[in-house]
Amino acid sequence: MKTRIAVLCSGGGSNLQAILDAIDAGEIPGQVVLVLSNRKSAYALERARVKGIEARFLSRKELGERYDDVLLEALQAANVDLVVLAGYLSIVGPQVVAAYRGRMLNIHPALLPAFGGKGMYGHHVHEAVLASGVQKSGATVHFVDEEADHGPIIAQRQVPVLPGDTPDALAARVLVEEHQLLPACVKAFCEGRLDEKKRVDR
Ligand code: GRF
């Protein structure tokens, strides 16, 4: 029985694409059945549509406090087993976190617990890393809990911070690792090798 996967995105969806490509290559015993975004213009939705995958824009403006109810309904209606936050720049409400505890992954473009939490998204992360003077950065996949970028870490991949790095250059170097790490963690989940207690170094 293939794991039914939903992917939540807010942007270009290159991490979504990495998962789709790994599935097409037969590397992941799962199928992406739903892609949701809080941004109508997210190219991730287009990536799903061209593959005939249900792709829905959920408007916080229109839905207001019903947003999380509608999100949960959409996930349950699609019989989703695993939720992946791949560049999803919105907070997942507590009822959704509770419903998918241990079955919801997030990828963050830094070595958590450093450079995570409020305001740490996109280029802000890489700017903070560069400003800190650390020699390494990287990507983290973790289980999602009630706090942003806080749940149990599943796996990380490191990259060097190089002299003269710009946020763009560092982001690009980290993204290469994200595209390996996230599919590997999704694969581990689909193969039953992930649980919240056990860290999987990929
Ligand atoms: C990635 O760097 C991810 O770590 C961060 O947002 C970016 C999403 O990129 N959360 P994409 O939309 O998957 O291309």
Instruction: Print the SS3 string covering the chain.
Output: CCEEEEEEECCCCHHHHHHHHHHHCCCCCEEEEEEEECCCCCHHHHHHHCCCCEEEECCHHHHHHHHHHHHHHHHHHCCCCEEEECCCCCCCCHHHHHHCCCCEEEEECCCCCCCCCCCCCCHHHHHHHHHHCCCEEEEEEEECCCCCCCCCEEEEEEEECCCCCCHHHHHHHHHHHHHHHHHHHHHHHHCCCCECCECCCC
Q: What b/e readout covers 183-193, taking b as 16+ CB neighbours within 10 angstroms?
A: bbbbbbbbeee
Pocket lining: 107 vs ligand 1, CB cutoff 6 Å: yes
User: pLDDT tens-digit profile of 66-97?
Assistant: 999 999 999 999 999 999 999 999 989 999 99
Ligand 1 center to residue 4 CA distance, Å? 21
User: pLDDT tens-digit profile of 179-189?
Assistant: 999 999 999 99
pTM of the model: 0.95
Q: How far apart are CA 200 and CA 109, in angstroms?
A: 18
- Nearest residue (by CA) to ligand 1, atom 6, is 87
Ligand 1 center to residue 18 CA distance, Å? 11
User: pLDDT tens-digit profile of 132-155?
Assistant: 999 999 999 999 999 999 999 999
Best residue among 107, 120, 149 to mutate for probing ligand 1, ranked by most atoms within 8 Å of CB = 107
Residue 202 confidence (pLDDT)? 46
Residue 74 confidence (pLDDT)? 98
pLDDT range class, residue 198, cuts 50, 70, 90 = low
